[in-house]
A and B are shown apart, each in its own frame.
Chain A
Amino acid sequence: MPDLATLLEILIIVVKVSVISGILFSLPLPLTWIERKVAGHIQVRLGPWRVGPHGVLQPFADMVKLLIKEDIVPDRADKFLFKLAPLLSMIPAFLVFVAIPFGEKFAIPFVGKEITLYLSDMNVGILYILAIGGLGIYGMILGGWASNSKYSLLGGLRSSAQMISYEISMSFAAIGVVMLTNSLNLLEMVRSQSGSFLDWNIFYLPVGPVWFVIFIIAALAEINRIPFDLPEDEGTLAAGFHTEYSGMRFSFFMLAEYVAMVTISVLTVIMFFGGWNPPLDISIFHLVPSIFWFLGKVILFIYFFMWLRFTLPRYRYDQLMTIGWKVLIPLSLVNILVTGLMII
């Protein structure tokens, strides 16, 4: 019979896991709404407006639509893989959050019990995230292949090639940050950036901004967002790897995509923007709970990705490959050299 303290620990972990998965499952609701609003205002229109005030209930209407939509499986598709693929792309996107810290510690008021704002303090956190995050590509490839449609297959192939090309430079950028902070642990990364904003990794001149640019470009390609959303290039591939999907299965892909966007924003904040550290080391900023600094930065980055999406046109496929192999990888190799020299 385990004692009370152990039971409490287990309970806390269960609560944390369910809260995080609940938030992640409901993420597409606010994010689709915000994305459509941002799109609307950038294109000088209103965006959703009718359903609820400022259209806030629009995502719920979309959710109902996706739930009751007919779920079509193509006749000659590989039924098993077709049904498995959305899950394969969704589960890794969720698994990544095991290693992501949202803050150091949080004291529950009136109880005197402190809980940690992360599920596990993994000492190879960044490695785990890169490894698991890369698994999501299986869903895309299998979904594209199992649909028995040429467009889907092309979308899947494109996404796999894109993933391979950009995973390298993304990992290099991560290596750069690891060199700067001397640790693979995400908590350590944030701790090493504590202080004012000049201590953040992005201001580690001259290599910090370069690592940031490499990381953000590679990450955009990794999560298939414009300007690198070639797997779902609707101009040439209908809808890419999820052309044949409908209803809930399609929304699983969408969910995975949004969760990946949040993951990348979180990683950018942790790796380059000081995590939950306030921008200036003054007492008034420390009054605000660190989780708000963290979430604020993450929201800024989510907005930045949306803003970018409605600014830039999509790249051509050969341009995408050129940027990946001829620019980002050599640049990150040079940058590793420079970072190493600076550290010595």
Chain B
Amino acid sequence: MSKGPSRIAEFIKKALFIDFVKGLSITLKYNVSRSITLKYPDEEKWVPDRRFRGQHTLNKDENGRELCVACELCAKVCPTKCITVIPMEDDTGRGIADRVAKVWKVELARCMFCGYCEDACPTRAVRLGRDYELACLDLSCTTREKDELLKPQSIPETIQGGFVVRSKFERTPEGIRVVPDLRMQKKRNI
């Protein structure tokens, strides 16, 4: 004997379009549900979680000294060899040690954001930040130098992340930027 509904039950199911009605009800449910598309970037923007791995950032300590001691462990451990570190002596108090990085640059075109560099870093100087808008029109943006990375992150460390906020246009001398309005937190988790 075959399992499942009998032939008569199946015929009734077909004749009354039960399956069609089921499918239609599902699509109708979706029709009135909230869509998951973001109005990115000018109306809604996603703030990543803290564990998100975006563009690198070089941290400073609370006295404003560079944490990086140019030990080159990050460059060593990097699977794609995208980090270049050249150390130098500097006893003016720029860094926490006399050894600071003369050059610390990362080629984002090769970086695969694995996070090995932040794992390897003994002073917690290098972190993968939360900037994910890395596109540009030429190759100029693929290399990030030290002074760019030392700037504070666009999203402060205190913000938890993992939600969507409203964003707004901001006119700067360089052009129009879209910045997330971090004060207005929309409780919409992604």
Chain A positions near chain B (C-beta within 8 angstroms): 38, 40-46, 49, 213, 307-308, 310-312
Interface flag for B158 (CB, 8 Å): no
- In the complex, are the beta carbons of A307 and B35 less than 8 A apart? no
- What is the CB-to-nearest-CB distance from B35 to chain A, in angstroms, rounded to a whole number? 5
Tell me the complex Cα distance, A32–B105, Å. 51
Q: Of B27, B28, B35, B39, which one neighbours A40 at CB under 8 angstroms?
A: B35
Could you tell me how many residues of chain B have their Cβ less than 8 Å away from some Cβ of chain A? 15
Residues of A within 8 A of B39 (CB): 46, 49
Asked whether A45 lies within 8 Å of B37 as measured between CB atoms, the reply is yes
- Chain B 31-50 interface residues, beta-carbon cutoff 8 Å to A: 31-33, 35-37, 39
Measured between C-beta atoms, what is the minimum distance from A331 to chain B in Å?
A: 10
Q: A307-B27, A307-B28, A311-B27 are in contact. Are A44 and B20 (CB under 8 A)?
A: no
B31 in contact with A42 (CB, 8 Å): yes
Return the chain A residue nearest B32 by Cβ.
A41
- A311 nearest CB neighbor, chain B only: B27
Which residue from B24, B33, B36, B37 sits with its C-beta under 8 Å from A311? B24
CB pair A44 B33 closer than 8 Å = yes
Q: List 10 additional contacts besides A42-B31, A44-B37, A311-B27; criterion CB under 8 Å.
A: A38-B31, A40-B37, A41-B31, A42-B30, A45-B36, A46-B39, A307-B28, A307-B31, A308-B24, A312-B20
Interchain CB contact under 8 A, B30 and A41: yes
B64 within 8 A of A: no
Contact A41 B35 (CB under 8 A): yes
Q: Give the secondary structure class of B's interface.
A: helix
Closest to B25 in A: A311
B156 at the interface (CB under 8 A from A): no
Residues on B with C-beta less than 8 A from A43 are 30
Chain A residues within 8 Å of B27, by CB: 42, 307, 310-311
Within 8 A of A (CB), among B80-103: none
Chain B contacts for A307, CB-based, 8 A: 24, 27-28, 31
Could you show 6 A-B contacts with beta carbons less than 8 Å apart?
A40-B37, A41-B30, A41-B32, A42-B27, A45-B35, A310-B27
Residues from chain B with a CB closer than 8 A to the CB of A45 are 35-37
> Can you name the residue of chain B whose Cβ is closest to the Cβ of A303?
B31
Answer whether residue B152 sits at the interface, using C-beta atoms and an 8 A cutoff.
Answer: no
CB distance from B20 to the nearest CB of A (A): 7
Assess whether B23 is interfacial by the CB under 8 Å rule: yes
A44 near B36 (CB under 8 angstroms)?
yes
**Complex CA–CA separation, A218 to B185 (angstroms):** 52
Chain A residues with CB below 8 A from B30, complex form: 41-44
* Residue among B26, B28, B31 facing the most chain A CB atoms (10 A cut-off): B31
B35 contacts A46, C-beta separation under 8 Å: yes
B52 to chain A, nearest CB (A): 23
Among A38, A45, A213, A311, the one with the most B-chain Cβ atoms within 10 Å of its Cβ is A311
Residue of A nearest to B28 (CB): A307
Q: Which residue of A lies closest to B19 (CB)?
A: A312
Determine how close the nearest CB of chain B comes to the CB of A200; give it in whole angstroms: 19
Residues on the B chain within 8 Å of A308, using CB: 24
Question: Shortest beta-carbon distance, B4 to chain A, in Å?
Answer: 22
CB distance from A61 to the nearest CB of B (A): 18
Q: In chain A, what residue has the closest Cβ to B24?
A: A311
Q: Which residue of B lies closest to A304 (CB)?
A: B24
CB distance from A306 to the nearest CB of B (A): 10
- Least CB distance, A122 to chain B, in whole angstroms: 34
A335 to chain B, nearest CB (A): 13
Of B27, B33, B36, which is in contact with the most chain A CB atoms at under 10 Å from its CB? B27
Please, which residues of chain A bring their CB within 8 A of the CB of B36? Answer: 44-45
Q: How far is the CB of A98 from chain B (nearest CB, A)?
A: 34
Chain B residues positioned under 8 Å from A213 (CB to CB): 17
Establish whether residues B35 and A312, one from each chain, have CB atoms under 8 Å apart when the complex forms.
no
How far, in whole Å, are A296 and B17 apart by their CA atoms in the complex?
Answer: 25
Known contacts A38-B31, A41-B31, A307-B31; is-contact A46 B24 (Cβ 8 Å): no
Tell me the complex Cα distance, A42–B26, Å: 9
Assembly CA distance A164 to B152 (angstroms): 71
Instruction: Tell me, rounded to whole Å, the shortest Cβ–Cβ distance linking A202 to chain B.
Output: 14
- Please, which residue of chain A has its CB at the minimum distance from the CB of B42? A50
Q: Which of B110-137 contact A (CB under 8 A)?
A: none
